[in-house]
Every structure is written in C-alpha cells, then in structure tokens.
Structure 1
Amino acid sequence: MRATLLQLRVDDSEDARARRRRAADLVRARAGDDLVVLPEGWAAGAWNHATWARDAEPLDGPTARAMSGAARAASVWLHAGTIVERAPDGTLYNTALLFGPDGVRRGHYRKIHRYGFDTGEAALMGAGERIVTVPAPFGTVGLATCYDLRFPELFRALLDAGARFLLVPAAWPAGRLEHLRLFVRTRAVEEQCFVLACVAAGEHGGVRQAGHSMVVGPWGEVLAEAGEGEEVLTADVDPSEVDRVRAELPVLRDRVLGIPVPVRRAFGRPGG
C-alpha cells in the first residue's frame, strides 16, 4: 500500500480558508494512494491559542466538508489532521477526523492528553475520554495526536483494541525534534505496528515547527522521513510486516498483565 504524509507549512500569513483550499488541492493530487495523513491543527493553527475560539468549528464544519470532498475526489483514506472542534455544549476539543475513500467520516478522536500544563491547550480545551480505532482494508488504524506520544499506556490500549497502524498528526516544536524521533520509533517497536507521524512545518503562534514527518515500520526502521520545510512524503509499506515481526519476535505474547504494584511513599521503602 502507498501512504503519503502531507507535511503542510502552517504560518501566520495564511488564514484558515486559504489553508483549507491548499490542503484540499494537495489531497486531490494523491489519487492512487491508499492513505493520506495531514498534521495537527493545520487549519486553525495548533499554537494560535488566541484565535481558537474564533476559528472553532463543528464536526461537520468547513474543514470537514473540504476534506470529505478531497478524500472522495482522490478515492483515498484520509486522516485530515485535527480541527479545533466546538462541541454542542460549547467545549473546545482538539479533534482528529478520519474519512474513507467515499468521503464519509469513519471516525473522530478528541485528543486525550492536552499540552500546556496550566496554559494553552490544557487550559482552553476539554480532554477526550475514549480511544478510537477504525477498521480499514489495509488494517485497523489507531488514532492519537502529538503530545499523546509521551504516554505509552494510550498506545498499548490501541494495540489491545486491534491497531496495526498508528496515525499521529502533530504540531511538534522544533526544539524537541529528537524527542519526536525517539517517541515515534519507540511506539512502533513497543506495539510492533506501523507509525505514521505527520508533523507541521513553518512557524505559527511564535513556535517554529519541527517538520520531519516519519513513516516507521513495526521493526522500528524509518521507512521515510521528511525535512524541515513543507513536503509531500510518500512510502510504500507492506501491511503483512506486522504479522511477520510479531511472529519473529513474539514479545506481545509474553506480556504479563495484572502485576501487583506495591504502595510506596516518595523515596520510601515498599509498604512503609
């Protein structure tokens, strides 16, 4: 199967409408691919906190409509990155959208781990409450977003739900690029899955983006990696590699669940 990551440049010189037009054109040009993935927050700007309330949209808003039409025109599975979603109760969420080749939305995922500690996303957005996997012809996909990469228990839950492909849009700061590379490869090795991380390029909200989108195989090998600027990154992957790797190194079979954890005080001895 052929997978493409559209590493979009996101900067403050373009508004959401212009970004939607450009992204839709790029998706439509990928006819013949099987899967296309966009970055986190590319329409509203993942670091433009001050404009989120203005640019928030419902699940069937302008970004979803543009991406649905582009997926249908190209006949591809499309992970449309994330939008700033305004839920019916007014809560904002960082929400990923996945469309089938017919343009129908097959799933959406509200980001569980919000970045910012006491500011930004953590202060302004609600937290998702459920993991999301979606069956596709090439294998079940699990959805996660950017900061989620730092929380391995989420990816183990996606594995247990049947994920074979982990799709991770991101708007990762350039100063922590090596963390990104480490986490993407680690999650692939841990879960023996393909990981496709599509990362924004450019600079917006005063934060330079890392770029370096990656396609990593279940053995941890980097099949393709982009540079820092806007780029169309394509890789041919063999979904059967997941089964081959899991059979060759059956670590998932050897998991021991329900290990008791002793209660400890900070820097104290077990139980006391």
Structure 2
Amino acid sequence: MRASLIQIGVNEDESVEARRRRVASLVREQAGADLVVLPELWTTGAFAYESFEAEAEPLEGPTYEAMAKAASDAGVWLHAGSIPELDPAGLYNTSLVFSPSGELAAAYRKIHRFGFDKGEAVLMSAGTEVVTARLPSTTLGLATCYDLRFPELFRRLVDADAEMFVVPAGWPERRRSHWTLLAQARAIENQSYVVACGTAGTHARVPQAGHSIVVDPWGEVLAEAGADEEILTVDLDPAKVATTREQFPALKDRVL
C-alpha cells in the first residue's frame, strides 16, 4: 500500500480558491498511490481563527467538490484533510475521506478542539462520533491534530477495528517534539500505523512544524518530512498490524 502525504504550505498571499486548485492538481499527480493525505484546515490555516467563519463552507461545498473530483481523476483514496464546515448546528473542523470513485466514504468532526478559552475551542463546536473508513486492505481511524494528545480516542478507534490512524494537523513548530513523540506513542500503544500529515510555512504568525510522519506498529519511523512544503511517499504493509499484534499480543491484556 503506497501512501502519499502532501505537506502543504499555507501562504497567506495565496487565495483559498487558488490554493484549492493547486492542491487538487497535486492530488492528481499522485495517481498510482493508494492513499493520499492532506493536512488540517489547509484552506484557511489552522491558526487563522479570524478566517474560520468567513471561509466556512457546507460539507458538500467547493472543497468537497474539488477533492472528490481530484480523488476520482487520480483513482486514489483521499483523506482531504479538514475544512471549516458550516452546518445549521454550528461550525465544525471536519475531515473528509473520498473513495477512488470520488464518493464520500467518511466525514469526521474533530472531537478535541485546541485553544483552551480562545480560538478553535470557542469558535467551533465539538464532534461526538468516533469515525473509521474501511479501505480494501485496511481500516482507517480518523483523528485530527490536537486529538493526538488524547489516547482514549485511539483506543476507541482500535475497538472499531482501526489498523491505521490518519491524523491531519496544523501543528506549531514550538511543540514539534511533542508531535513526533505522540505519533510514535499512539502507534506503539495501539500496534497500529500512524500516518500524520502537517502543514508547512507560517500562517497567522504561527510557524508550522511540518515534519509529516509515518510510524509503523512497532513505533519505527518509516518516513518523515522536513519543514518545507513536501510530498512524502512511503510503502506500507497492512498485514504488519496483525503480525505485530500476534507476535506481541499486548492488546489482549487490556483491562479497561
């Protein structure tokens, strides 16, 4: 299984529509991959709080349409990162997963919102559902950025048969060491792949960590990007999850 992570640079001088077109083109260039992954809130930038409401769109809005078409054109499973979703019930940080035919396979509203008493935590509503997406060779467990700090979500994803966690993010550079450590921890404790895609550059005056990362079920880093915009491609063996869990059956000793 070949995964391509597109670590997008969110440049404030580039319009949302221009970036949407550029990213769709990058997705189409990944024809031949099995899974393509984009970062969190790449249309606006994860820290561009003042843009969330202005750039919010319905679930089946322009980003949905552009990414569905790009997935279909490339013939790939596409985790299209997340968008600020405008719904009658509120504003959500919502991830979209498309099949190679361009059909929506899953949508996940971020459960853990970052910011404490400001930013995303007060501007967006919290999702409530644990979401997976079933691919022919594996089952994806969906999480977003700050979710990475909450291991109980990943346990619930494992209970829902997830074998590969896909984590789009807009993680800041000043906490990059946490990003790497947490990605490895979630892989080790759940004996699952972690495919985590971040953003590059600086937006809303917040330098981004970049360093998208792929970790195997033993916690080994298979590939890691640098700080700049980059496409990280790695070959994965979905069967390694079952093999790891059989060779070291720690999950069978769970009590809680």
Q: What CA RMSD, in Å, does the superposition of the two structures yield over aligned residues?
A: 0.6
| Equivalent-residue separation in structure 2 for 1:64 and 1:105 (angstroms) | 9
- Which AA in structure 1 matches 2:148? L
| Equivalent-residue separation in structure 1 for 2:129 and 2:52 (angstroms) | 23
2:78 equivalent in structure 1: 78
Give the superposition deviation at 1:14.
Answer: 1.0
Q: What does the per-residue CA deviation read over 1:58-117, in whole Å, with 9 as the maximum and x for residues that have no partner?
A: 11000010000000000000000000000123x110000000000001010000000000
2:5 equivalent in structure 1: 5
Larger radius of gyration: 1
- Which AA in structure 2 matches 1:39? P
SS in structure 2 opposite 1:224? strand
- Which AA in structure 1 matches 2:242? D
Q: What does the per-residue CA deviation read over 1:184-243, in whole Å, with 9 as the maximum and x for residues that have no partner?
A: 000000110110000000111111100000011000000000000000000001000001
Give the superposition deviation at 1:46.
Answer: 1.2
Q: What does the per-residue CA deviation read over 1:27-62, in whole Å, with 9 as the maximum and x for residues that have no partner?
A: 000111000000000012211111111100011000
- Which AA in structure 2 matches 1:132? V
2:46 equivalent in structure 1: 46
Q: Does 1:192 align with 2:191?
A: yes
| Equivalent-residue separation in structure 2 for 1:214 and 1:221 (angstroms) | 10
- Which AA in structure 2 matches 1:25? S
- Which AA in structure 1 matches 2:125? G
| Equivalent-residue separation in structure 2 for 1:194 and 1:218 (angstroms) | 5
SS in structure 2 opposite 1:232? strand
Matches within 5 A, 1:167-206: 167-206=166-205
| Equivalent-residue separation in structure 1 for 2:8 and 2:183 (angstroms) | 19
2:143 equivalent in structure 1: 144
- Which AA in structure 1 matches 2:170? A
Give the superposition deviation at 1:256.
Answer: 1.3
- When normalised by structure 2's length, the TM-score is 0.99
Return structure 1 stretches of 4+ with deviation > 6 angstroms. Answer: none
1:268 equivalent in structure 2: none
1:19 equivalent in structure 2: 19
- Which AA in structure 2 matches 1:218? P
SS in structure 2 opposite 1:184? helix
1:99 equivalent in structure 2: 98
| Equivalent-residue separation in structure 1 for 2:18 and 2:32 (angstroms) | 25
- When normalised by structure 1's length, the TM-score is 0.93
1:266 equivalent in structure 2: none
Structure 1 segments unaligned to the other structure (5+ residues): 258-272
